Chain A
Amino acid sequence: MKLPFASLAVALALGMPSALFAGSQDVVAENAWARASIGTSRPGAAYMTLRNTGEEPVVLTGLSTDLAMMPDIHRTTTDAQGMTSMAPAGELEIASGEAIALEPGGLHVMLMQLQRPMVEGESFALTLEFADGGEMQVDVPILGIAARGPEE
């Protein structure tokens, strides 16, 4: 009787790391890029695709970077009259096996209160924070101000 219990305890103990970070270690960031800025007074923007390769849904709750005081995920929307606006997107859930695209015209990383100019050819570190306590650092290459995406 003792043996199965002990093995269960071991299994639980081994299971702890994934219980602690339920799923966020399975997130992969692809094709990250940002546009260069002119100085520091204007906000910057960054883009990437976040893919959840795990079995559990994950929730992106926040961002941090030393590049900007207020990094946040925003969503650009266009109304029926063609007027566009941006608003904070809030927490983002990525279902198991799904990906969300942060791309021009939709969801994107807004980098408000830049601490230094974003220079073409350089890159910066962006930390993604997840609801399970997990964190992930993404290296974001800075492309030209007129760049359209990572492939061009």
Chain B
Amino acid sequence: MRRRKLLGYGAAGLGAAALTLFAGWWQVDGPGASVAAGQRPLPLGEMAFRLTDHEGRMVGPEMLIGRPSLVFFGFTYCPEVCPTTLSDISLWLDGLGEDAGRLNVVLITVDPERDTMEALSNYVEYFHPAIQGWTGTDHEIAQAVEGFRARYEKVPLEGGGYTMNHTAGVFLFDAGGRHVSIIDYHEPREFALPKIRRAMEASATGSS
């Protein structure tokens, strides 16, 4: 009796393990895989979107080619993640000193409804002067997010209004527009700076 019970547990255990493996496959490699999982952003040269920067200029991914770039998604009604990311980036740029001038640094809003050109302009001036803000139509923002293999979603708030969930990492590209790496949200400065320097070096060797 006892033995049978143990066998029963064993079978249940195997069943659970198989289910876990299947769930893992489904989420990582199978049809349940999210777009972002394991997918690298397209090279900037293969992306296609038209946005407006915080000074009203028409911009697109091709304008980032020629210099190494840091690109990230956010929105200015974000009380937590975005100011933290922006102040992290400002600190990294300060750490790079004059080299910061050799980078494109772009915040693409995932909340174009509230982040008009004026709202972005008003916001980015509080951070490092190299940081640009890009906004545009819902369709063009969606195109941009797709190109970076990033994600975003609108979430209604209790008590009215809404907030945005979004990919919070900072995408690094070399001067040729090739994706080099991602700096995860809140990654310490001692890891972030070498990653940026690597993107800059990759650019130097890539262009020679």
A residues near B (Cβ < 8 Å) are 35, 38, 41-45, 70, 74, 76, 78, 80-86, 88, 104-105, 108, 110-113, 144-148
Q: Closest approach, in angstroms, between the C-beta of A77 and any C-beta of chain B?
A: 10
A148 to B88, CA, bound (A): 8
Residues of chain B lying within 8 A (CB to CB) of residue A84: 81, 165-168, 185
A76 to B150, CA, bound (A): 18
A38 to B163, CA, bound (A): 17
Task: Output the residue of A44, A76, A84, A86 with the most chain B CB within 10 A.
Answer: A84
Which of B72-80, B135-143, B200-208 sits within the interface?
A: B72-80
A144 to B83, CA, bound (A): 11
- Chain A interface helix/strand/loop/mixed: strand
Q: Which of B80, B87, B182 contacts A76 (CB 8 A)?
A: B80
A82 near B36 with CB under 8 A, answer yes
A45 to B86, CA, bound (A): 15
A77 to B165, CA, bound (A): 10
A148 near B87 with CB under 8 A, answer yes
Cβ-closest 8 pairs across A and B:
A85-B165, A81-B36, A84-B168, A104-B84, A45-B79, A105-B186, A43-B79, A146-B87
Closest to B86 in A: A146
Residues of chain B lying within 8 A (CB to CB) of residue A86: 80-81, 163, 165
Check B155 for interface membership: any CB of A closer than 8 A. yes
Q: Closest approach, in angstroms, between the C-beta of B53 and any C-beta of chain A?
A: 19
Q: Which of A41, A112, A113, A146 contacts B127 (CB 8 A)?
A: A146
Residues of chain B lying within 8 A (CB to CB) of residue A35: 79, 83
Q: Closest approach, in angstroms, between the C-beta of A7 and any C-beta of chain B?
A: 52
B34 near A105 with CB under 8 A, answer no
A-B contact pairs, 18 of them (CB 8 A): A38-B76, A41-B77, A44-B79, A45-B79, A82-B167, A82-B184, A83-B36, A83-B166, A83-B167, A84-B185, A85-B155, A86-B163, A86-B165, A88-B158, A105-B185, A110-B79, A110-B80, A148-B84
Given contact pairs A84-B168, A148-B87, A78 touches B185 in the complex (Cβ within 8 A): yes
Q: A83-B167, A84-B167, A148-B87 are in contact. List 17 more A-B contacts (CB 8 A).
A: A38-B126, A45-B80, A45-B83, A70-B159, A78-B184, A81-B34, A81-B36, A83-B165, A83-B168, A84-B168, A84-B185, A85-B155, A104-B84, A105-B80, A105-B185, A110-B80, A146-B87
B79 near A148 with CB under 8 A, answer no
Check B192 for interface membership: any CB of A closer than 8 A. no
Chain A proximity mask over B130-151: 1 for CB below 8 Å, otherwise 0:
0000000000000000000011
B157 near A112 with CB under 8 A, answer yes
From 70 to 108 in chain B, residues with beta carbon under 8 angstroms from any chain A beta carbon are: 76-77, 79-81, 83-84, 86-88, 90-91
Q: Closest approach, in angstroms, between the C-beta of B116 and any C-beta of chain A?
A: 12
B126 near A112 with CB under 8 A, answer no
Residues of chain A lying within 8 A (CB to CB) of residue B34: 81
Residues of chain A lying within 8 A (CB to CB) of residue B77: 41-43
A111 to B77, CA, bound (A): 12
A111 near B87 with CB under 8 A, answer no
Q: Which of A78, A108, A145 contacts B168 (CB 8 A)?
A: A78
Check B61 for interface membership: any CB of A closer than 8 A. no
